[in-house]
Amino acid sequence: IRCQSTSTEEPKTKRNLLDNASNLLTNLLSGGSLGSMPTAEGAVTDLFDRPLFFSLYDWFLEHGSVYKLAFGPKSFVVVSDPIVARHILRENAFSYDKGVLADILEPIMGKGLIPADLDTWKQRRRVIAPGFHALFLEAMAKIFTDCSERTISKFEKLLEREDLGEEKAIELDLEAEFSSLALDIIGLGVFNYDFGSVTKESPVIKAVYGTLFEAEHRSTFYIPYWKIPLARWIVPRQRKFQKDLKFINDCLDGLIRNAKETRQETDVEKLQQRDYLNLKDASLLRFLVDMRGADVDDRQLRDDLMTMLIAGHETTAAVLTWAVFLLAQHPSKMEKAQAEIDSVLGQGRTTFECLKKLEYIRLIVVEALRLYPQPPLLIRRSLKSDVLPGGYKGEKDGYSIPAGTDIFISVYNLHRSPYFWDQPHEFEPERFLVARKSEGIEGWAGFDPSRSPGAMYPNEIISDFAFLPFGGGPRKCVGDQFALMESTIALAMLLQKFSVELKGSPESVELVTGATIHTKNGLWCKVRKRSSIH
């Protein structure tokens, strides 16, 4: 599905739906086996001139929270209801697989967790998820801080230049800077490899970006021409992709070989005693190799690492990008954030303990994820026929869907649903502090923190699937806490030192989507040293 650029202005709630092309679409939509389900009647042009999730939102307001949509001969069910999402993701999770998404990602991630078939997934999830335990995360906090410091000192050096003039500001594409920062963090945290991308370019970094670029191209292109025999040798971009992939795979194979060869019993003991802070290499690869011995299949391990490299890089960079984009438009919230940072950190470093006190920064991170979820759609395909439950309004009968139905769970729609959020398009981190339940909002349970005691960040459990920043159910993101901590630390450290202003108007920041929502031409900002740090 191709999603093209648009400005960041909000989707229109009422659209002029009829044009010549819509007749064609209407005909296509009227077929299919999903009988009584409401059908979206959109203009074909809707699909081409702006990201798809904007159109899905307008159709949600018009047709309700479960509707059918067709592209050419193919139809999809679009879900924007928390109860139905909960059913697909959690209650009946094993009746669905990743469908189209797995087709796209399998050539890159192999049998990594995201595209993996159910049997492989069950085996690997059991091995990988324990690697993300609290002590690992605590050890990671140092990596998040060290890498953020590199970015800060890069900015400081640029700000020392004498030709900055009166403004004393540097102009930077912060999206690109966050992308480098997140790449360095994921490299060190997952396989103890320092890409050093904040400060330099290297062939391996180019190959990683080339591969991500191709993953995005594939997720936004209608015809999977890369499956045609010989296409990988004839089409230049496919040849380049194969070259990039081989480059990264060789690099990962080298790291795996090294991790196996350097396995030491003393490290294994430290791991067993959870003595993470005294380990020289606390990476996930070390954990996977040390705890499982030499019996780990190299190919599988490589697929796991590649999956985490891709899943954990652009997503986190996008959260930071949109958090800054939103804050820059709300000076009073920026001030509030910086006041919190000053009072918690002063001029010191961020530590794991500080995170608990950086409440407003944590809420900014989750509010950025609410408004710009990464990815904006979750994709599933039913493996057998199923009956979807009635939605949150308490309807008794849901819709029957046959095996093979492709489903988009629109996280974007859920996160901006006027049924669950006050002023859904507004940036309001404080909203998560309000116990909506006590306001007695009808038909909706509202936030209930007691469902997830001790959670540092709002999640799908306390919102009963109205807020799904990391999915939900058994295939929920394994790196959620890693990513949240990383974003909180990086944002706090950046705002501790610098003030940030958008270079142009917010409307001039154009959106594109593939797996994540990102900008078309970068997030260009004016960055200055903060004049007063209290």
Which residues are near ligand HEM by CB under 6 A?
113-114, 125, 190, 307-308, 311-312, 315-316, 319, 374, 378, 469-471, 475, 477-479, 482-483
CA distance 322 to 427: 11
Interior CA angle at 292 toward 289 and 296, to 5°?
Answer: 70
- Give the nearer residue to ligand HEM in terms of CB position, either 392 or 412: 412
- Give the nearer residue to ligand HEM in terms of CB position, either 39 or 148: 148
- Give the nearer residue to ligand HEM in terms of CB position, either 129 or 387: 129
- Give the nearer residue to ligand HEM in terms of CB position, either 41 or 106: 106
Q: How many residues can be counted in the chain? A: 534
- Give the nearer residue to ligand HEM in terms of CB position, either 169 or 468: 468
What is the smallest separation between the CB atom of 114 and ligand HEM, expressed in angstroms?
A: 5
Query: Which run of H or E residues covers position 204?
Result: helix 203-219
CA distance 362 to 91: 29
Tell me if 313 sits within 8 A of 197, measured CB to CB. Answer: no
CA distance 147 to 318: 17
What is the smallest separation between the CB atom of 183 and ligand HEM, expressed in angstroms?
A: 11
What is the smallest separation between the CB atom of 233 and ligand HEM, expressed in angstroms?
A: 31
- Give the nearer residue to ligand HEM in terms of CB position, either 63 or 518: 518
- Give the nearer residue to ligand HEM in terms of CB position, either 59 or 121: 121
What is the smallest separation between the CB atom of 215 and ligand HEM, expressed in angstroms?
A: 14
- Give the nearer residue to ligand HEM in terms of CB position, either 11 or 99: 99
DSSP codes, 405-426: -EEEEEHHHHHT-TTTSSSTTS
Tell me if 170 sits within 8 A of 527, measured CB to CB. Answer: yes
List beta partners, residue 171: 526
Among candidate residues 434, 415, 435, 410, the one with its CA nearest the CA of residue 425? 415
What is the smallest separation between the CB atom of 360 and ligand HEM, expressed in angstroms?
A: 18
Among candidate residues 314, 338, 365, 321, the one with its CA nearest the CA of residue 173? 321
- Give the nearer residue to ligand HEM in terms of CB position, either 32 or 107: 107
CA distance 238 to 344: 50
Among candidate residues 29, 33, 82, 27, the one with its CA nearest the CA of residue 404? 33
Tell me if 141 sits within 8 A of 355, measured CB to CB. Answer: yes
What is the smallest separation between the CB atom of 253 and ligand HEM, expressed in angstroms?
A: 20
**Can you list the positions of beta strands (E) in 310-411?**
377-382, 386-387, 400-401, 406-410
What is the smallest separation between the CB atom of 307 and ligand HEM, expressed in angstroms?
A: 5
| CB-based closest residue to ligand HEM | 479
Tell me if 237 sits within 8 A of 245, measured CB to CB. Answer: no
CA distance 76 to 405: 7
Burial of 132 (0-12, 13-18, 19+ CB in 10 A): middle
Tell me if 518 sits within 8 A of 318, measured CB to CB. Answer: yes
CA distance 259 to 287: 10
Tell me if 412 sits within 8 A of 53, measured CB to CB. Answer: yes
CA distance 3 to 517: 10
- Give the nearer residue to ligand HEM in terms of CB position, either 270 or 475: 475
- Give the nearer residue to ligand HEM in terms of CB position, either 143 or 401: 143
What is the smallest separation between the CB atom of 49 and ligand HEM, expressed in angstroms?
A: 26
What is the smallest separation between the CB atom of 292 and ligand HEM, expressed in angstroms?
A: 17
List beta partners, residue 75: 70
What is the smallest separation between the CB atom of 22 and ligand HEM, expressed in angstroms?
A: 31
Among candidate residues 315, 330, 367, the one with its CA nearest the CA of residue 175? 315
- Give the nearer residue to ligand HEM in terms of CB position, either 108 or 483: 483
What is the smallest separation between the CB atom of 10 and ligand HEM, expressed in angstroms?
A: 21
What is the smallest separation between the CB atom of 372 and ligand HEM, expressed in angstroms?
A: 9
